[in-house]
Amino acid sequence: MKTIKQFIISESVRVGKVQQFAAKAHDAWRKNFDPSGTKERIKKNSDGTEGNINVPFNKLHPDWKKENIAAGHAALAAVKKHPKDIEKAAEHVHNEWMKRNPKAEHNADQHKPYSELSDAEKEKDRVHVRTMQSLHQQG
């Protein structure tokens, strides 16, 4: 059984990996969305405001930081559950994304079983897995 100190250290490491993942995943999304970094992507926030999400992670509205952190938790769980199977891990990431993001007009094409996604959509989930694998292997 873990001691309280071991638990706190383990929890601190887990939170650190998830935070690192959130920032890296957002940076990767930004590079893919707009390599120049000048194009705006406006999203509605839960507080009624709107804001550009094509900004560095530390400048994101808390809603979008929260989503990136939730994606990090899903990726860490996927890597732990399926350490040697990137497709199963990516499917886990996708299923968790669907739970967090109800089906709507803007995401209907992605709201289907992983096996029915295009390879480009599957690759987004694989990127999350590979990003977390690299962080997880660091210790």
Q: Could you report the per-residue pLDDT of 82-124, keeping only the tens digit for each?
A: 999 999 999 999 999 999 988 888 888 999 999 999 999 999 9
Q: Mean pLDDT, to the nearest integer, of 52-75?
A: 94
Between 134 and 94, the higher pLDDT residue: 94
The encoded tokens of residue 78 equal 């996927």
Between 3 and 5, the higher pLDDT residue: 3
Between 7 and 39, the higher pLDDT residue: 39
Mean pLDDT over all residues of the chain? Answer: 89
Q: What percent of the chain has pLDDT over 90?
A: 70
Q: Please, which pLDDT band fits residue 3 given cuts at 50, 70 and 90? A: confident
Q: Please, which pLDDT band fits residue 9 given cuts at 50, 70 and 90? A: low
- Cα–Cα distance, 71 to 91 (Å, whole number): 13
Query: 33-57, pLDDT tens digit by residue?
Result: 899 989 999 999 999 999 999 999 9
Query: Quick one: how far is CA 39 from the chain centroid?
Result: 21
Range of the domain at 11: 4-137
Positive or negative CA dihedral for 98, 104, 110, 115?
A: positive
Please, what is the Cα angle at 61 between 37 and 132, to 5 degrees? 70
Count of structural domains within the chain: 1
Alpha helices in the chain (DSSP H): 4-33, 62-81, 86-100, 119-137
